[in-house]
Amino acid sequence: MRGLEGRRVILTGGASGIGRATALRLMEEGCIVGIFDLDLAGAVETINQGINAKGQGFAFSCDISDHKAVTAAVDAFETDVGPVELLANVAGWDRPIAFTETDLQFWDKVISINLYGPLNLHHVVLPRMAQRGFGRVVNVSSDAGRVGSSGEAVYSACKGGIIAFTKTVAREMARKGIILNVIAPGPTDTPLFDEFAKSSPSGGKIAEGLARAIPLGRLGLPADYPGTIAFLLSDDAAFITGQTISVSGGLTMHG
């Protein structure tokens, strides 16, 4: 895709799942990718898998829910790699629990990762992009944030918030040379989904039911998303901002 080779990218959650697949795709496109993840060993493994790609990868241990930690990691990235040009917020976490059975501790964990994490990255990175007059951001939300998802009330609230936040900031930053967009995956076969399914007595049946409900007949795979993310970060999407694209096999269709 046009305009990705040599671009410097910060990507969260690149130690596994969609984040790993996206980091590898961006490295294939020639990007210099800084992976921010608490799982440093997983991030290093991602980089090792992409060792023959045109681009490069760097691993940074970072708790995205901690604003000071994010600032330190971005500073380290810019010292080691150079000014950040692209940002992909992929990291996420949840567990299926009916809302009335949740507690404040659970809310805090879900919100700190899925909402405060991206907010922290934007708060640290956007002023730097604005000062340089260029930046592109892709936030990974979820179709749970568009249509809801049983057992994921707080997660859905966070993901819906990310969609609204992205639209708002896209308006605020447009004249500063920064574009922001969202992709909304549907149910996806990742380590997080495995954990999700195992925590429910009917986890296997849930996966089968979701696959039947998806018009294309299967759960998503991590490899289904990096192309869309790469496109939205590339020059091919330079006139697209504030948009949300569902990548869900047709489970949700918006026009």
Question: Tens digit of pLDDT for each residue in 25-57?
Answer: 999 999 999 999 999 999 999 999 999 999 999
Condensed to tens digits (0 to 9), the pLDDT of residues 166-182 reads: 999 999 999 999 999 99
pLDDT at 228 over 80: yes
Q: C-alpha angle 124/94/70, rounded to 5°?
A: 15
pLDDT at 203 over 60: no
Residues noted as catalytic: 155
Pairing mode, if any, of strands 8-12 and 86-89? parallel
The upper half-sphere exposure of residue 230, i.e. CA atoms within 13 Å in the direction of its Cβ, equals 24
Spell out the domains of the chain, with CATH numbers in brackets: 8-247 (3.40.50.720)
pLDDT at 254 over 80: no
pLDDT at 123 over 80: yes
> What is the pLDDT at residue 255?
66
The stretch 199-216 carries a mean pLDDT of: 75
d(CA 255, CA 250): 12
> What is the pLDDT at residue 195?
67
pTM, entire model: 0.94
